[in-house]
A and B are shown apart, each in its own frame.
Chain A
Amino acid sequence: MKVPISWLKEFVDIDVPIPELAYQMTLAGLEVEQIHYVGLPMSGTLAQMGASGHARKADAKISGFEWDREKIVVAEVSEVMPHPNADRLVLCKLNDGQQEHIVLTGAPNLFAFKGKGPLPKPLKVAYAMEGAQIYDGHAEGAQLVTLKRAKIRGVESYSMACSEKELGISDEHEGIILFDDDAPLGAALADYIGDAVLEVSILPSFARCASMLGVAREVAAILGKPLRTPEVSVTAEGEPFEAVIEITRPELNPRFVLGLVRGITLRPSPYRVQLRLKLAGMRPINNVVDATNYAMLESGQPLHAFDYDVLAGRAGGTAGKLKIITRTARAGEKLTTLDDVERILDEKTVLVCDAAGALSIAGVMGGLESEISEKTTNILLEGAAWNFINIRKTAQAQNLPSEASYRFSRGVHPAMAERGVYLGLELMRRWAGGVVARGLIDNYPLPPVDPTVEVTPADVKRWLGIELSAAQIAEALVRLEFKVALDGETVRATTPDHRLDIGPGITGVADLVEEVARIYGYDNLPETRMADELPLQVGNPLLDKEERLRDLLVYLGLQEVKNYRLTTPEREARRLRPDTPADDKPYLRLTNPISSDKAVMRHSVLASVLENAEWNARFRARLALFEIGPIFLGSEDPGGLPDEFQRLAIVLCGPRSLPSWQPADTAAMDFYDLKGILDGLFDGLHLPAVRHEPVAHPGFHPGKCARVLAGERQIGVFGELHPLVREGYDWPVAAAGTPILAADLDLDALLEQMPSLYATAPVPEYPPVLEDLALVVNEDLPGERVAELIRQTGGRVVAEVRLFDVYRGEKVGKGRKSLAYSITYQAPDKTLTDRDVAGIRTRILRRLEQELGAVLRS
């Protein structure tokens, strides 16, 4: 919300520099995001204050500029003369309070006065002299320029009458500013209308501050100054009027107030009213609409003005029978709002109606028919209270954010309705010259209960950790206009009738403690270290295991990635062969995706990492990536929360070694490189009994894919991507023919298999005996079974079995292969003799032959 400082000063004396005010407001919860200077001095933008001696800079963005008090003044134009050489320029005879000048301007709003001789009533303008700094009216944005002497079409010019844009008031540059007649001739403009506008961010709990008075009340409390609450006094001299207000749903409409002004004349508001509205971010329309907006900005109560005669006409011309009904809309009911849009309403929408039908959408927007028009002379003014949640839903459903719905959807206290209507009526009387009817019609079926909350020094101590007396607590609350009664150590505080954010019971206590803290100052609260007992320390073993696994993968040379969990089924389908049937598990689908490529929660972490590989293959020949993260599967239970499972995905491709200026292993990584990484990982995790089996999987090469088992538990699959899957990605030409290796593992299963403790063996003390055995077996026998059987048979004496060669060829015969193992025999308790080794070897060979048909290669 935009808050002109001049408006605040009507209600509270501000004796600190503007940046210091902004700083204090920000600390107390009214964050000042921007300070826009409109003429006022910018000095003191960096107030050195505070006990720490540290700069208390306003966090706000600073904009605008200071008007030179000597060179920018109020002047008057007494005659507008044609320019001798240009039709689109005029010459003004102008008096700046000291002397006369001839000032050249192209302002269209002076053309009407051109050549009319001396004006009966001079025009008051903003005059900038030679050397004054103003914004360039013709430049894009805000650019300061200094006025210099120049000849324009043969006439000398050194000064100008300013537009609003040139003074930083608005973007308006169509014409020059024409002040009200009472503008003081010769006065420094900064003294007359100089201002600074604070852009304040209003938090949901500060709804009461969505008005000048609301902000002023906070500022008064923060600065410890009295608030000058305006007396709402309306001069009502007209005949009373009659109307009936029927409220069908008091919980949606607790109060409805009507007032009447007769005989108004529509015209533009005084310039200073227009200026206020502009600085506050609203567009001036006419004196009646401006009065409703001004009253809303000042008090916080949105108002709505009806053309009384239109309503009377709808009531059959007998104005005495005027009846206003508030009710919810019938499904599909239509109303054309004042923006000339026919709106279709739902049953939650609250309407203000008369006997003939709907007049306006309550709290959101008026209807076209009863709107103020040029013919309007009598105004029926509505001030009502609405349920904030209902208004919020309606404003969202109709996509109609407005100043009124902004306030109503955050909550406006029903007590404000009457005050707002009085203020609106009085402003219309003053600016539009009407006569206010005596009395209001006020239907108030559901006054809110303003909570009375008891708070004690013990509460403040318990929550804030500071010792305050009951009197000190009371003093802070009184500053915020709570009505306070002291009862020994208990402060009984009744909420003032302009706010709805204080709850009952213990919530209310928390609310009041917060208010006390804000007024006491968050800065002044102590910094302490928790004195409470430290809870039982149990750690998070599962996370520890996960982090251990991350470390191992990094040791193994893999780069961690993290992806969006949001994707599409089509993106994920690429990880599988195109002829694979669609994923049978339903996806978690967003009802409101932000973009079409982020519509569902992922089923596969591997799909994410493959996309990363595809992207990075353009910059890196060698890729080694992993991601740990969740996948999301719909719950079996309809409408239940989905299951989240943790997965580990690895993708590998490119040359084995990094490129170098020296010879390096530039062969492409293959299945066994990935398997080596996994072997290292499982080893580092101390997984017991890991096995591999060939497996068919729709993502992988049928001959180069394995599944991993730990015990009977499947850990996952890995292998080389199927050529058809590989084709589905956009690999750079350089990667042609390079296998893409991938692993898709179940992290939950992995971590479950990971023991929390493991034992080590002593370093051997006796020498080993090394021996190589080459065994010829059938081609289809998995090599792992040979090694396994050697280990099993050798028992603890076989310390290591290492495959060092695989040979296929004529020497071993067709359909056979030779597996050469280097075996280390070593006993923990003695030096093995040749006889010992020979015995073990014989047993091993016998079993290999019997069980696997393996023959020692001679």
Chain B
Amino acid sequence: MLEKLNQIQGAALEALDSVADEAALEAWRVTHLGRSSALMEVFSGLGGLSREQRPAVGQKANQVKNALEAALAERSGTLRAASLKRSLEGERLDVTLPGRRIPMGRLHPDSQTMRELYRIFGEMGFQIFRSHEVESDEYNYQLLNFPVGHPARDMQDTYFVEAEGRGDNPIVLRTHTSPGQIHAMRHFVAGNPENPPPVRIVLPGVCYRYEQITNRHETQFEQIEGLAVGPGITFGDLKGTLADFARRMFGQETRTRFRASYFPFTEPSAEFDVECFLCAGKGCTVCKGSGWLEIGGCGMVHPVVLQNGGYDPQRYTGFAFGLGPQRMTMLRHRIEDIRYFYQNDLRFLEQF
């Protein structure tokens, strides 16, 4: 009997070797482990065996059953793995074909640069103050220490708006964001005329110059201006603030340079240059070999302007600076033509 069980096991395992798919495996299971299989017959014949034979045969039969079931499980695993492998191989994609794009929106590059500036200056405590684009000559010029007829006005070609009876105070398109300096100071003074609070703001916005449009000059452009007023603001603070700004905007190693200049509403006045971040100051076509890039104008707020804003120049000092966000965008992205900004050609805008 034991011999017969050995034969059953041997025959079953031999037959399993030739099983090639799940269906054959199921047939094999029915044949060798099914109710009417030879093995099951041994189990059902156990009752007819002698008391002495029964334990040995029973034990052996169980061993055979376990062995066959283990072999079945193993075979089943192998077959499933092979079948999965076959089906996966048939589902191979060309992963180099393009993906399915979802329509994507983008901010205009001006908005992107402005946000970066808001963030950098915001973290230094400069809050955003906005004012109108159409201004009076008084705010655009006179209160900023550009008297009527002053030659400094030649530095900023102005658009005038048709309006009757305004004499020496015509309506103009603001040539800079600086009228906001007066609006802001007066706003803060109104809250506490005796003891006006310190000011630390940036004034962003669109400005206009009466100028032919070329690849380098725009008649409309973005500007952002900073203003800090307080009892102890110095030119050193101005240099430090702009040096901090330059490191954050253009890279941690960026050096800055200040050149004496002239603006009617600041004194001392300076031009603010940063070391060319494209060539690290070695000289390249963008910085025209000088190693420096002109970024903006700045200076200490002129006492007359403080006075016009309601801040006593004997008690307060302040600094102001003006930057061209579009120029920064142009430098950082190697844009050769400033006209792209308002042309709104998607072939340009979609690159940001």
Total number of B residues with any Cβ neighbor in A under 8 Å? 104
Interface centre among B134, B241, B269, B343 (most CB of A within 10 A): B134
A26 partner residues in chain B, CB cutoff 8 A: 259
Partner of A554, one of B106, B128, B199, B314: B106
| A601 and B197 contact, Cβ closer than 8 Å, known pairs A26-B259, A559-B105, A594-B210 | no
| A535 and B302 contact, Cβ closer than 8 Å, known pairs A27-B259, A462-B234, A594-B213 | no
B213 partner residues in chain A, CB cutoff 8 A: 594
Total number of A residues with any Cβ neighbor in B under 8 Å? 104
A531 partner residues in chain B, CB cutoff 8 A: 232, 237
Across the interface, name the chain A residue whose C-beta is closest to B287: A59
Partner of A590, one of B161, B228, B262, B264: B161
User: A537-B125, A562-B111, A657-B103 given. 15 additional CB < 8 A pairs?
Assistant: A57-B292, A462-B317, A466-B236, A507-B303, A528-B237, A530-B200, A535-B198, A557-B102, A559-B349, A560-B107, A561-B344, A590-B161, A615-B345, A641-B132, A662-B100
Contact flags B339-350 to A (C-beta < 8 A → 1, else 0): 001111111011
B290 pairs with A565, CB closer than 8 A: no
**A223 at interface, CB cutoff 8 A:** no
**A510 at interface, CB cutoff 8 A:** yes
- Could you list 12 A-B pairs, sorted by A, with CB under 8 Å? A28-B260, A464-B235, A465-B236, A530-B240, A531-B237, A537-B127, A560-B107, A565-B220, A592-B160, A594-B159, A641-B136, A660-B98
B260 pairs with A527, CB closer than 8 A: no
B258 partner residues in chain A, CB cutoff 8 A: 27, 522-523, 525
B290 pairs with A57, CB closer than 8 A: yes
B165 pairs with A639, CB closer than 8 A: yes
| A591 and B317 contact, Cβ closer than 8 Å, known pairs A204-B155, A389-B149, A522-B260 | no
A642 partner residues in chain B, CB cutoff 8 A: 134, 161, 171
Cα–Cα, bound, A528→B220 (Å): 34
B102 partner residues in chain A, CB cutoff 8 A: 557, 658
**B115 at interface, CB cutoff 8 A:** yes
Contact flags B142-159 to A (C-beta < 8 A → 1, else 0): 000001111110110001
Interface centre among B128, B133, B267, B343 (most CB of A within 10 A): B267
**A52 at interface, CB cutoff 8 A:** yes
**A392 at interface, CB cutoff 8 A:** yes
B105 pairs with A555, CB closer than 8 A: yes
Interface centre among A58, A523, A533 (most CB of B within 10 A): A533
| A54 and B255 contact, Cβ closer than 8 Å, known pairs A537-B125, A562-B110 | yes
B236 pairs with A616, CB closer than 8 A: no
**A842 at interface, CB cutoff 8 A:** no
**A598 at interface, CB cutoff 8 A:** yes
**A563 at interface, CB cutoff 8 A:** yes
B239 pairs with A528, CB closer than 8 A: yes
| A525 and B236 contact, Cβ closer than 8 Å, known pairs A58-B290, A612-B344 | yes
Cα–Cα, bound, A709→B78 (Å): 67
**B225 at interface, CB cutoff 8 A:** no
**A400 at interface, CB cutoff 8 A:** no
Partner of A527, one of B97, B101, B236, B350: B236
| A534 and B125 contact, Cβ closer than 8 Å, known pairs A462-B234, A616-B344, A630-B133 | yes
**A624 at interface, CB cutoff 8 A:** yes
Identify which of residues 80-106 in chain B touch chain A, using a CB-to-CB cut-off of 8 Å: 97-98, 100-106
Identify which of residues 505-553 in chain A touch chain B, using a CB-to-CB cut-off of 8 Å: 506-507, 509-511, 513-514, 517-518, 522-523, 525-540, 543, 547, 550, 553
Give A387 Cβ to nearest chain B Cβ, in Å. Answer: 9
Cα–Cα, bound, A624→B303 (Å): 50
**A589 at interface, CB cutoff 8 A:** yes
**A718 at interface, CB cutoff 8 A:** no
**A807 at interface, CB cutoff 8 A:** no
B210 pairs with A389, CB closer than 8 A: no
Cα–Cα, bound, A782→B95 (Å): 48
Contact flags A573-601 to B (C-beta < 8 A → 1, else 0): 00000000000000011111110001001
**A388 at interface, CB cutoff 8 A:** yes
**B313 at interface, CB cutoff 8 A:** yes
**B224 at interface, CB cutoff 8 A:** no
Cα–Cα, bound, A540→B200 (Å): 13
Q: Which residues of A contact B (CB under 8 A)?
A: 26-29, 31, 52, 54-55, 57-59, 61, 203-206, 388-389, 392-393, 409-411, 461-466, 506-507, 509-511, 513-514, 517-518, 522-523, 525-540, 543, 547, 550, 553-566, 588-594, 598, 601, 612, 615-616, 619-620, 622-625, 630, 632, 638-639, 641-642, 644, 657-658, 660-662, 664
Cα–Cα, bound, A620→B208 (Å): 31
**B58 at interface, CB cutoff 8 A:** no
Partner of B159, one of A534, A590, A639: A590
**B117 at interface, CB cutoff 8 A:** no
B317 pairs with A566, CB closer than 8 A: no
Give A706 Cβ to nearest chain B Cβ, in Å. Answer: 23
Partner of B231, one of A532, A554, A559, A590: A532
| A661 and B98 contact, Cβ closer than 8 Å, known pairs A557-B103, A560-B106 | yes
Cα–Cα, bound, A715→B342 (Å): 27
Partner of B240, one of A509, A529, A591, A619: A529
B108 pairs with A562, CB closer than 8 A: yes
Contact flags B226-252 to A (C-beta < 8 A → 1, else 0): 001011111111011101100000000
A644 partner residues in chain B, CB cutoff 8 A: 132-134
A591 pairs with B161, CB closer than 8 A: yes
Give A181 Cβ to nearest chain B Cβ, in Å. Answer: 43
Partner of B236, one of A392, A526, A612: A526
A203 pairs with B261, CB closer than 8 A: yes
| A27 and B260 contact, Cβ closer than 8 Å, known pairs A513-B268, A514-B267, A528-B236 | yes
A54 pairs with B233, CB closer than 8 A: no
**B333 at interface, CB cutoff 8 A:** no
| A565 and B149 contact, Cβ closer than 8 Å, known pairs A57-B289, A464-B236, A466-B236 | no
Partner of B239, one of A59, A461, A526, A536: A526
A658 partner residues in chain B, CB cutoff 8 A: 101-103
Interface centre among A205, A461, A556, A601 (most CB of B within 10 A): A205
B159 partner residues in chain A, CB cutoff 8 A: 590, 592-594
B133 partner residues in chain A, CB cutoff 8 A: 565, 630, 632, 644
| A55 and B344 contact, Cβ closer than 8 Å, known pairs A529-B240, A557-B103, A594-B212 | no
**B300 at interface, CB cutoff 8 A:** yes
B237 pairs with A553, CB closer than 8 A: no
Cα–Cα, bound, A554→B106 (Å): 6
B155 partner residues in chain A, CB cutoff 8 A: 204
| A517 and B125 contact, Cβ closer than 8 Å, known pairs A543-B130, A557-B103, A624-B105 | no
| A463 and B235 contact, Cβ closer than 8 Å, known pairs A537-B127, A561-B349 | yes
**B270 at interface, CB cutoff 8 A:** yes
Cα–Cα, bound, A535→B125 (Å): 8
Identify which of residues 59-89 in chain B touch chain A, using a CB-to-CB cut-off of 8 Å: none
A510 pairs with B300, CB closer than 8 A: yes
Give B250 Cβ to nearest chain A Cβ, in Å. Answer: 16
A641 pairs with B313, CB closer than 8 A: no
Across the interface, name the chain B residue whose C-beta is closest to A388: B151
Cα–Cα, bound, A630→B98 (Å): 40
B101 pairs with A660, CB closer than 8 A: yes
Give A657 Cβ to nearest chain B Cβ, in Å. Answer: 7
Across the interface, name the chain B residue whose C-beta is closest to A638: B164
Cα–Cα, bound, A388→B150 (Å): 8
Across the interface, name the chain A residue whose C-beta is closest to B130: A543
B212 partner residues in chain A, CB cutoff 8 A: 594
Interface centre among B104, B115, B129, B163 (most CB of A within 10 A): B163
Partner of B269, one of A514, A601, A624: A514
Cα–Cα, bound, A522→B235 (Å): 9
**B283 at interface, CB cutoff 8 A:** yes
A530 pairs with B302, CB closer than 8 A: no
A537 partner residues in chain B, CB cutoff 8 A: 125, 127
Cα–Cα, bound, A543→B346 (Å): 26
**B162 at interface, CB cutoff 8 A:** yes
Across the interface, name the chain B residue whose C-beta is closest to A612: B344
